[in-house]
Homo-oligomer: A and B are copies of this chain.
Amino acid sequence: MPKKKEDRRVKFTKMFLKESLIDLLEEKSIFKITIKEICENADINRATFYAHYSDQYHLLESIEEEYIEKILNTIDQDALHADSTLNLVTDIVTFIYDNKKMSRILLSDRGDLQFQKRIMALVHDNILSKMKDIEPNSLEKTALISSFVISGCVGVIQNWFDNDLKSSPEEVAKIISDLASVTLNMVH
């Protein structure tokens, strides 16, 4: 982790660029956003942008990584309390809720599906590791079912946002937890 020795100027530059991109992402998808636009909005010279990032996508990636990092912290803290699946899911969904702005941008229909699956896979793996009674014969089937659950969760969260977070995080967590439980039990 080469993090500590970063010049204050660099830190600020990166911060401004990220904030600028997040700003723009609230209006349109990453593919319609130009580097020039990001820089003008951040009041950062375009040459400076290229000193740190290769393109918009690279900058977005760094935003995604920060988000993932926070999710991982939530999971890790949960691991200490060693609670039920529902508690873990509730904490994740609550995190998503508490970080509405970023979550809406990163988890929307227009967002990066691969990234979204990655997040849900983190939770999924955690759940799977707890149910150790899995037969190793039907590997293909298990993989397909896992994909169903992982993508299913993406869909639930997106629908939740589409409906302007009408349900509470607890309700959503309960549904996700139940759905995951019912489907993963099909592995047997």
Contacts and interface: CB of A to CB of B under 8 A. Distances in A.
Contacts of A154: 151, 155
A133 B114 CA distance: 36
A14 B117 CA distance: 35
Interface residues of A, number: 37
A143 B155 contact: no
Given A143-B159, A144-B160, 7 more contacts: A109-B117, A140-B163, A143-B163, A147-B155, A148-B156, A151-B153, A152-B155
Contact of A144 (B113, B156, B183): B156
Contacts of A109: 113-114, 117
A94 interface: no
A158 interface: yes
B155 A148 contact: yes
A143 B151 CA distance: 16
Contact of A183 (B146, B167, B171, B183): B183
A119 to B, nearest CB: 13
Contacts of A113: 109-110, 113
